[in-house]
Amino acid sequence: MSAINRNAQQIAAAVVSNKRVGQYHQLIVNIGDAANHCKPGNFVAINVGGDTSRMVLRRAFAISRVSANSISGGTMELIVAPYGQGSSWLCSQNEGAMLDVVVPLGTAFGIPTEPVQVLLVGGGYGSAPLFGLAEVLNARGCRVDMLLGASTASKIYAPMEGKRSVNSLRIYTEDGSMGQAGRVTDPIKALIDDMNIAVIYSCGPMAMLSAIDSLTRGTDVIHQCAVEESMACGIGICMTCVLPTMGSDGVISMLRSCIDGPVMDGETVLWDKVGKAL
């Protein structure tokens, strides 16, 4: 296993709770001491479907946050949308169910060494990891502002929790059913100019991440994004989650989202070539 995953463990993890939150499920899973090694941006790979399932590949899920509990031990929170067979199976698991998980995996968000102005941008339930990140940034003394966006109100995850986690929160929906009408990327250029933003952290659809890069490329703003590429193995073997990136030497490389990501420097990703043959 790669050095980036040196703290990863395969664990039989119990579901502590499973609650419906709007269109999504909030699962709390007991992972014991492994929680001490989880950082914002890491993900977990879960064996789904049960012993008789034909779904042989694990499913990767972003870790929303981790916490320590004197009763249940270290836990991780997952926000899951029951869209496919694997995620629907996971959302059907009741309290006490045992999950076969490998955690923590992947790269984490880089945290500033001193207090700076940061902006968090989340799309749909992809915004969930940003709440745990906000807690870490607040502890570092950063001013944290957040933008949440989705196509409609029901796809905005936990807006009240977001408001409690940051200095200011703005919500954008494409149909205008919550917050302001428009795309979550609409105000970013003005915020960069007005608020002296040093770092943008983003989680959400690839099109959103690409749009943010177009606004930050060539500026002094650092854009750290958690890419949403499908991962089959989650540990860097299968090469199904590669993304085209440009190194400082001008050489194009295909990097694995599960090992070199999911958190990447947005400026290094060749967004116009994602999904295309090079």
Six-digit token string for 237: 């073997």
Contact 13, 95 (CB under 8 A): no
Q: Does 111 lie in the same domain as 25? A: no
Q: Does 195 lie in the same domain as 120? A: yes
Q: Does 101 lie in the same domain as 113? A: no
- Give the number of domains in the chain: 3
Q: Does 89 lie in the same domain as 189? A: no
Instruction: Please state, in angstroms and rounded to a whole number, the distance separating the CA atoms of residues 19 and 74.
Output: 18
Say what the pLDDT of residue 92 is. 96
Say what the pLDDT of residue 277 is. 63
Q: Give the residue from 65, 175, 193, 174 showing the smallest Cα distance to 119.
A: 193
Which helix (H) or strand (E) is 88 found in, with range?
helix 85-91
Instruction: Please state, in angstroms and rounded to a whole number, the distance separating the CA atoms of residues 178 and 33.
Output: 39
Which of 47, 70, 105 is where one domain is finished? 105
CATH number where 274 lies: 2.10.240
Segment 2-56, tens digit of pLDDT: 577 888 999 999 999 999 988 899 999 999 999 999 999 999 999 999 887 888 8
Mean pLDDT, rounded, for 63-69: 88
* Phi and psi torsions of 128, nearest 5°: -55, -45
User: For a pLDDT cut of 90, what percent of the chain falls above it?
Assistant: 75
Q: Does 262 lie in the same domain as 202? A: no
Task: Give the angle subtended at the CA of 220 by the CAs of 215 and 222, to the nearest 5°.
Answer: 70
Q: Does 167 lie in the same domain as 77? A: no
Which of 182, 210, 226 is where one domain is finished? 226
Segment 90-111, tens digit of pLDDT: 999 999 999 999 999 999 999 9
Which of 75, 105, 135 is where one domain is finished? 105
Q: Does 159 lie in the same domain as 254? A: no
Segment 101-140, tens digit of pLDDT: 999 999 999 999 999 999 999 999 889 899 999 999 999 9
Q: Is the pLDDT of residue 211 over 90?
A: yes
Q: Does 69 lie in the same domain as 34? A: yes
Instruction: Please state, in angstroms and rounded to a whole number, the distance separating the CA atoms of residues 215 and 110.
Output: 20
Q: Does 187 lie in the same domain as 172? A: yes
Domain that holds residue 211: 107-226
Q: Does 120 lie in the same domain as 203? A: yes
Helix (H, G, I), strand (E, B) or coil at 5: helix
Q: Does 97 lie in the same domain as 174? A: no
CATH number where 72 lies: 2.40.30.10
Q: Is the pLDDT of residue 1 over 60?
A: no
Say what the pLDDT of residue 72 is. 66
CATH number where 184 lies: 3.40.50.80
* Phi and psi torsions of 24, nearest 5°: -115, 170
Q: Does 121 lie in the same domain as 60? A: no
